Amino acid sequence: MILGVCEWIGEKNGWRAQNVRIVFVIAFLFAGFGLGLYVILWLVKILSK
């Protein structure tokens, strides 16, 4: 995605960024909260530096 959140989460947990992206897309399509979660995690990423 755009802000590097998926790659950041993948690095932290030892997961592939592609798998994290798939989870975000599924969460967005089915539950509708994927975008909000993405923005919150982006803020956490920025504030943790």
Question: How many domains does one find in the chain?
Answer: 1
Q: Which domain holds residue 42?
A: 5-47
- Whether this model's pTM surpasses 0.75: no
Convert the pLDDT of each residue in 5-36 to its tens digit. Answer: 888 889 999 999 999 888 888 888 887 777 78
User: What pLDDT was estimated at residue 15?
Assistant: 93
Calpha distance 2→43 (Å, rounded): 13
**pLDDT-based confidence at residue 1 (cuts at 50, 70, 90):** low
Q: How many helices (H) and strands (E) does the chain have?
A: 3, 0
User: What pLDDT was estimated at residue 14?
Assistant: 94
Residue 48 contacts by C-beta under 8 Å, 6 or more apart in sequence? Answer: none
User: What pLDDT was estimated at residue 41?
Assistant: 86
User: What pLDDT was estimated at residue 16?
Assistant: 94
